[in-house]
Chain A
Amino acid sequence: MNDVRLEVKNVSKNFGITRALKDVSFKINKGEIRALIGENGSGKSTLTNSLAGIYQKDNGTFILDGKEVHPTNQVEANNEGISIIVQELGTLDGLTVAENIFLGHEENFVRYGIKNTAAMNRKAGELLKEYGFDRIKPSNMIENYNFEDRKLVEIVKATYFKPKILVIDETTTALSREGRDELYKQMKKVRDEGNTVIFISHDLPEVLEMSDSITILRDGDYIDTVNSSEIDEDGLKKLMVGRDITGGYYRADYGEKISDEVVMKVKNVTVPGLIKDVSFELHKGEILGFGGLSESGMHEIGKACFGASFDREGSVTLADGTEINDIPTAISHSIAYTSKDRDNESLVMNQSIRDNICLPSLDDLANKAHLLSDKKLNEFAATYAKKMSTKMQGVEQFVSALSGGNKQKVVLARWIGKDSDILLLDSPTRGIDIGVKQDIYQLMDSMRKAGKSIIMISEELMELIGMCDRIIIMKDGMISGELSREKDLNENSLIAKMV
């Protein structure tokens, strides 16, 4: 019996002059969870999107169970037995839960052109119950549910028809622990049924724990496939980056005294429904971390300090007495903010990399007559995009065409270019590969040494421990504890205050 489920044969894909995939070939077996890893822009999503019909490959073939497949959209891919759960939101507002689950597959519920809504809702209800998600009602509009529940609906949508191949593209970073566990359960279920999971993740411990084997891509090239049980994190990093990633990953200093100079004072800040009575001080040259569960309220801290929260109470005051109550005041007082939701809150997607990087710095870049020079903008954008090692065709390229990690680099490049003194970084390394992660950590460290102050909000406990002078833990919208930088600090100390 042939165990090969999918054969990827000489697949190539170009985006303009960028060669996203170069003659990639490998095989995946039935009953296997195959992780697909690589740095941002290595071609992981391009490959799986081509398999799922979202992109059209330029050359090569996908052979599924011995038969060549070339879907031109997700529904055709579904019909071939391929489904995908994407990184960002894949459900549509304006439709019910049931309509979202069966979008593109309504034929089973349509007779003489008339849709049997009751039958569709009934079937969706049965599926949701089968998955244990019966708290989600099929006839409810999808926009009534939060991100997490909508991802659960996507899981049902992608797996109810028992696909031969399920692709999970960097989905776990967007989920809470509970959501991740549910996804893991479904991945194992698909494998146990003799089908195949292709799992894309930047979280190497998660990759090692969940996958049976791992395929590594680098710059569009196939590098290797290894058994998960025969490799460790350092080995994977080396294969991903092409060099050893050792030492200096996080800060190495301990026991440095934090400056007494307070640059930002947050007093009794409350944002209804999100955070309650939060007070703290940020010192000059300090990296102050915020950790907690996803819904702990920590992500609102950045917005509250940036003047971007709605109905905020309490005060955020700078050393010179300036009250930060709105975004323009924050930016004009050298405060930068990067949101966790970079696509919707940090980037102007249908604009160029240049425009995105230059946006807050236009006043500084304009000449005395308030005119902007293309040359100056291009140079400015190119300098900071390069500093962040952004993989791009040029600064004129649209941000929407970049991979997730490269988009994040553009966001960071914008604020580094602005030379802000206080940086509020919410999940700055989310979806970013290890090579660039290291660059970002080193950048943060050098900024700290240069007297800049940073608030780092993160769900990754190890980076908080590795990078921060102090870590404030949030729980149920309030501060539940504070920990100082020390060698013996470990994840358990943080978790104890989180739950």
Chain B
Amino acid sequence: MNELNKSTGKKMSGQVMGYLLLFLLVAISWGIFKIITPNNFGSAKNMMSYFEASLLAAVGAVGFYFVMVMGMFDFSIGANIMLSAIVGCVFANRFGLSYFGLVVGAILTGALVGLLNGVFYVKLRIPSMIVTTGLALIYESLANYIAGGVEQTLPSNLRAFGQMPGNIILAAIAFAIAYLLLNYTRIGTYTYAIGSNEFVAKNMGINVNKYKVLAFIISGAFLGIMAVLTISYGSSMVAVTGMASMSRNFVPTMGCFFGLAFKKYGMPLPAIILGEFVINIIFFGFIALGAPTAIQDVITGFALLIIVTLTTKVAKGEIVK
């Protein structure tokens, strides 16, 4: 009986505790930079723009969460965003499909990339990290070929998703879909089941490979939405090669780590959104300080390690890999 009361209590206080921790992180990261550089950082208007910027990666991260929670990884995130943005831009621009082409083109491309990732991973039976690294090179080359080696620019009349309220609306729709999938469909249940014990999940009649591929497709589609937001926000996209797209992996992946760390509080998606916000506060804080990029990266890296360490309570004896 005590066990039960404890666990019920844990669940209730868990979410509150999770939110408290996250808002505390937001407050601390804001407070530190506000003290150091009070004039050009952290006003209400600034904070809103940091939040808007964080939505980009947050949308990709909530999709990527489906892959990570199953115990897989994806190194082609950046290549996917780049390819999806370029295809969306080409559809909107060259084919004259306007917003429809931009959104549908990018999301379908993202989902297709996810499908390829999933199918190759399942069929080749090699680790997802290796499969997606190899495929990332192909996606980069493909994006470069489609773009014809030229920077793809989104016309100013098609950039509604790069500013308020378009970006907020699109991101909110994406978050709502992710929430629905995770909590109110079989996909969510099976995602956690496979992540917990694949063998048992298989014995429960779950088509594990199918749901793994589906997780990659969902992740890809959300990265497609992220691509729409990214190109709308930045107005253009350059198709880089030689794995240079990997630099785009970092921020969505870090947001995803927040989600995994706060999963035990029963609030992975809010954790991803607020986690990305914290990352952006730190990022813009450094810009306000005028710190060199190398210093920014070092301090951001350490800050994130500290945050995840402090927020991830590992039980005694629990093995961390």
Question: Which of A's residues lie within 8 Å of B, judged by CB?
Answer: 53-54, 73-76, 90, 92-95, 99, 103-104, 106, 110, 113-115, 117, 135-137, 139-141, 144-146, 149, 310-311
Does B43 make an interface contact (CB < 8 A)?
no
Docked complex Cα distance between A214 and B197 (Å): 33
Are A73's CB and B202's CB within 8 A?
Answer: yes
Chain A residues with Cβ below 8 Å from B206 are 103-104
Does B40 make an interface contact (CB < 8 A)?
no
Are A74's CB and B204's CB within 8 A?
Answer: yes
Could you tell me the dominant secondary structure of chain B's interface residues? helix
Are B205's CB and A76's CB within 8 A?
Answer: yes
Are A144's CB and B11's CB within 8 A?
Answer: yes
Chain B residues with Cβ below 8 Å from A114 are 180, 184-185
Question: Which of B's residues lie within 8 Å of A, judged by CB?
Answer: 1, 3-4, 6-8, 10-11, 69, 180, 183-186, 188-189, 192-193, 195-197, 200-206, 263, 266, 316-317
**8 A–B contact pairs at CB < 8 A?**
A74-B203, A94-B195, A103-B189, A135-B1, A141-B7, A141-B266, A144-B11, A149-B3
* Given A74-B204, A94-B69, 8 other A-B residues pairs in contact with their CB atoms under 8 A: A73-B202, A73-B203, A73-B204, A110-B185, A137-B8, A139-B11, A144-B6, A311-B316
Docked complex Cα distance between A110 and B192 (Å): 17
Q: Chain B residue with minimal CB distance to A142?
A: B196
Docked complex Cα distance between A57 and B180 (Å): 40
Docked complex Cα distance between A145 and B193 (Å): 17
Are A90's CB and B200's CB within 8 A?
Answer: yes
Chain B residues with Cβ below 8 Å from A311 are 316
Are A144's CB and B7's CB within 8 A?
Answer: yes
Q: Chain B residue with minimal CB distance to A72?
A: B205
Chain A residues with Cβ below 8 Å from B195 are 94
Evaluate whether A140 and B7 lie within 8 angstroms (CB atoms) in the complex, with A73-B204, A310-B317 already known: yes
Are A310's CB and B4's CB within 8 A?
Answer: no
Chain B residues with Cβ below 8 Å from A90 are 200
Are B184's CB and A117's CB within 8 A?
Answer: yes
Most buried by A among B4, B69, B193, B203: B203
Most buried by B among A74, A103, A114, A146: A103
Chain A residues with Cβ below 8 Å from B202 are 73
Considering the complex of A and B, which 10 residue pairs feature the smallest CB-CB distances, nearest first? A75-B205, A144-B7, A94-B192, A104-B204, A92-B196, A73-B205, A104-B205, A310-B316, A93-B196, A94-B196
Q: Chain B residue with minimal CB distance to A95?
A: B192
Docked complex Cα distance between A92 and B188 (Å): 13
Chain B residues with Cβ below 8 Å from A92 are 192-193, 196-197, 200-201
State how many angstroms separate the Cβ of A4 from the closest Cβ of chain B: 27
Are B8's CB and A74's CB within 8 A?
Answer: no
Q: Chain B residue with minimal CB distance to A53?
A: B203
Are B316's CB and A95's CB within 8 A?
Answer: no
Docked complex Cα distance between A74 and B199 (Å): 12
Chain A residues with Cβ below 8 Å from B200 are 90, 92
Are B183's CB and A117's CB within 8 A?
Answer: yes
Docked complex Cα distance between A139 and B8 (Å): 9
Chain B residues with Cβ below 8 Å from A99 are 189, 192-193
Chain B residues with Cβ below 8 Å from A76 are 205
Are B186's CB and A115's CB within 8 A?
Answer: yes
Docked complex Cα distance between A95 and B192 (Å): 7
Find B10's partner among A103, A135, A139, A144 (CB 8 Å cutoff).
A144
Q: Chain A residue with minimal CB distance to B191?
A: A94
Chain A residues with Cβ below 8 Å from B8 are 137, 140
State how many angstroms separate the Cβ of A87 from the closest Cβ of chain B: 13
State how many angstroms separate the Cβ of A206 from the closest Cβ of chain B: 26
Chain B residues with Cβ below 8 Å from A139 are 11
State how many angstroms separate the Cβ of B181 from the closest Cβ of chain A: 10
State how many angstroms separate the Cβ of A85 from the closest Cβ of chain B: 13
State how many angstroms separate the Cβ of A112 from the closest Cβ of chain B: 10
Q: Chain B residue with minimal CB distance to A103?
A: B204
Are A145's CB and B7's CB within 8 A?
Answer: yes
Docked complex Cα distance between A113 and B190 (Å): 13
State how many angstroms separate the Cβ of B45 from the closest Cβ of chain A: 39
Q: Chain B residue with minimal CB distance to A96?
A: B189
